[in-house]
Structure 1
């Protein structure tokens, strides 16, 4: 804790530093000022909206889990489950790869079919973030999150490839349409596969739109204050503005994460499949602004795509002006207390089976107080 005698010193130091660096805010305001004249009003358009979400591994509330079991599950806003798997950080990657193929070397899961379309046979060929075979390093849970993300992309491709849409449909991805988990240029190839699958629907007079919406973005965080000072997107109606790639590059540590096909130049676009827009769905000047990626091939249809997204977002609940389909998908994917109780029971039953005759020792162990420090709160 800062001592009261130091408060004045700290206050003066902060004030001096901010005044010395005031040119930074001036520069940010100069960067965003042209956006004021590029803001467009969003006109609502009706269509079907569908979102898919993976169960968040960070919300695991299992109390007793020595194996760090992770449930990989992807559902959509209509409560359709597409993929379910269970892994731990110590899972054998070779065996996990084989599980996506049948005995005839044919894919039997959404991830397997995506791997086949990308002409890879093993998870390590798909992403460099999986542990190397024979590594002596302790297992890291990082690859589990990579696996979860790959499954989400695979399910998205599966939906576009196999679903017979009855009407024009807006697909809302949870997060921006960019990824660093694919090896080499495989994500660029994946985006091409998505585009080709969508064209097949267009030939059948069904328009499929794709956006990715994030709760947070380094670009928006960097420029939020400057935009507020310049009055950008403080309109009395829903509005959007396209984010120049230069602003994205200035916000990201790695410029390639902002390098789309439109400015790739001599360097291949490996990470980006969308064009970023700042979007405000509310009609009040200070309603929330969201970063939205529109799938690159349809960036010129931004007014239409965001019009469809607006119709879904205005009904957002409990988060206002946030796509309702995305909120429903999160609700369907979330594990509630009862789910965690069942998951805990399954883990304990599996450990008891593993221990065999020593299974009773597990029950005795569970009776021990896992947090003796709580006794300090005991009162009569």
Structure 2
């Protein structure tokens, strides 16, 4: 138990440390003070907004899964399934590559199309984080990288297929930055995405805009208090401000993850901080505007505002992105069906005698959960 003397001592040390570290906040304030004159108002504009999301394994966990299956499912905000696959940390990588792009170079999925367009034949050529077939003790987190690659593949296929009947804003779940691709492949992908957007306009006169939207950012985490103290993004109307490269570089661990760095091959967007609400305490979101579309930033922000105003249940968060998450998540009956399918698949891999053991283990309760009852 903490004694009054201990509390008093801690309080004294906290006050001393806060006084000493105040210089850090003052330095941050001086860095972002010039941004106050760069804040721009957002005027709402109406267009079609669409998002695509890969099912989050963290939200789709099943209670009995000895093989650690990972469902890779990419859907858009209309519920259309763009890619479906199932992996585990022990999946044969060579067979997985062939399932997307066969030895004759024919693509069999959205991810295979992206691989073909980037000139790679295998998944480990596409990303250094995907283990090679002969690699020993691969990091099991590669399945998460695979899911992200699938999402980029689905986005690229969506643009290749076209079919946009109106001007459309595509909202990616996450910033337009990635370090999972090999060398300059991400830069090549961004160029092909831009070419596809140009082709859509040439054929249909429909404009397609691309943004990356994130729930959090190292920049906003570091500068949130300084923003408030300097009155940046505190105006009584929706507004945004561009974050200069030198501020980004101070916030990110990897310098090449910031706009304007020497190795900008991992960056596809210019970073903005945006507040869609009119009240001072409304949330501020990090948004990446696709680099080739920087001249249309006011239009893109207007389209985002119109979609965010309809945000539910999270206020001032793009509605299309929330709908995509709802479509991707496996909950309720869907999750029960998925778990039954996993159990049946596991049981079929054992003898009849061992299947009884599988059933018994599955029915064992987690006694540690009793503390919550």
**Same fold per superposition (TM over 0.5):** yes
3-12 or 294-303: bigger deviation? 3-12
Pick from 263, 277, 289: which aligns with 2:284? Answer: 289
Partners of 2:103 and 2:116 in 1: CA distance: 15
- Cα deviation for residue 205 of structure 1 reads 1.2
Gap change, CA 1:104 and 1:237, over 3 Å in 2: same
Equivalent residue runs for 1:282-361 within 5 Å: 282-361=277-356
- Is contact 1:353-1:359 (8 Å) kept? no
Match of 1:25 in 2: 25
Query: What residue number does 2:230 align with?
Result: 230
The verdict on how the C-alpha distance between 1:349 and 1:240 changes in structure 2, with shifts beyond 3 A counting, is same
Any conservation in 1 of the 2:68–2:89 contact (CA below 8 Å)?
Answer: yes
Once residues 305 and 75 of structure 2 are traced to their aligned partners in structure 1, the CA distance between those partners, rounded to angstroms, is 22
The match for 1:172 is 171
1:64-108 CA distance string (max 9 Å, x none): 110001100001111111101000011111111111124633111
Give the structure 1 partner of residue 63 of structure 2. 63
Structure 1 stretch 125-134 or stretch 210-219: which is displaced more?
A: 125-134
Q: Output one character per residue of 1:18-49: Cα deviation in whole Å (capped at 9) or x when no partner.
A: 21122110010011111110011101111000
Aligned residues of 1:352 and 1:362 also touching (Cα < 8 A): no
More displaced stretch, 97-106 vs 79-88: 97-106
Instruction: Indicate the residue corresponding to 1:274 in structure 2.
Output: 269
- The alpha-carbon deviation at position 358 of structure 1 amounts to 3.0
User: Partners of 2:294 and 2:246 in 1: how far apart?
Assistant: 17
Provide closer, same or farther for how the CA distance between residues 343 and 231 of structure 1 changes in structure 2, counting only shifts above 3 A: same
Match of 1:46 in 2: 46
Cα gap change, 1:300 to 1:4, in 2 (>3 Å):
farther
Closer, same or farther in 2 for the Cα pair 1:239/1:374, shift >3 Å? Answer: closer
Matched residue, 1:192: 191
Tell me if 1:136 matches 2:131. Answer: no
Change (3 A) 1:42 1:374: closer
- Measured in 2, the distance between the counterparts of 1:165 and 1:257 equals 31
How far the C-alpha of 1:365 sits from its partner, in A, is 2.1
Gaps of 5+ in 2: none
TM-superposed CA distance for 1:361, in Å, is: 2.1
Return 5+ residue gaps in structure 1 as ranges.
none
Q: Are residue 159 (structure 1) and residue 158 (structure 2) matched?
A: yes
> Which has the larger displacement, 147-156 or 199-208?
199-208
Q: Shift of residue 14 of structure 1? A: 1.8
Q: Secondary structure at the match of 1:134?
A: coil
Q: In 2 relative to 1, CA 320–368 (structure 1 residues): closer, same or farther, beyond 3 Å?
A: closer
Q: Please list, as runs of the form range in 1=range in 2, the aligned pairs for 1:78-117 lying within 5 A after superposition.
A: 78-102=78-102, 104-117=104-117
Partner of 1:183: 182
Shift of 1:377: 8.6
Q: Secondary structure at the match of 2:115?
A: helix
SS in 2 for 1:36: helix
Q: Distance in 2 between matches of 1:166 and 1:377?
A: 51
Q: How many residues were matched structurally?
A: 372
Give the 3 Å change call, closer, same or farther, for CA 377–228 of structure 1 in structure 2.
Answer: closer
State the alpha-carbon separation in 1 of the partners of residues 348 and 201 from structure 2: 53
How far did residue 135 of structure 1 move?
A: 2.9
When residues 335 and 309 of structure 1 are mapped into structure 2, their CA distance, relative to the original with a 3 A threshold, is same
Shift, 1:149, TM fit: 0.4
SS of match in other structure, 1:355: coil
SS in 2 for 1:157: helix
CA distance in 1, matches of 2:302, 2:20: 43
User: What's the offset of the Cα at 1:369?
Assistant: 2.6
Q: Secondary structure at the match of 2:191?
A: helix
Question: Is the Cα contact below 8 Å between 2:101 and 2:116 reproduced in 1?
Answer: no
Matched residue, 1:247: 247
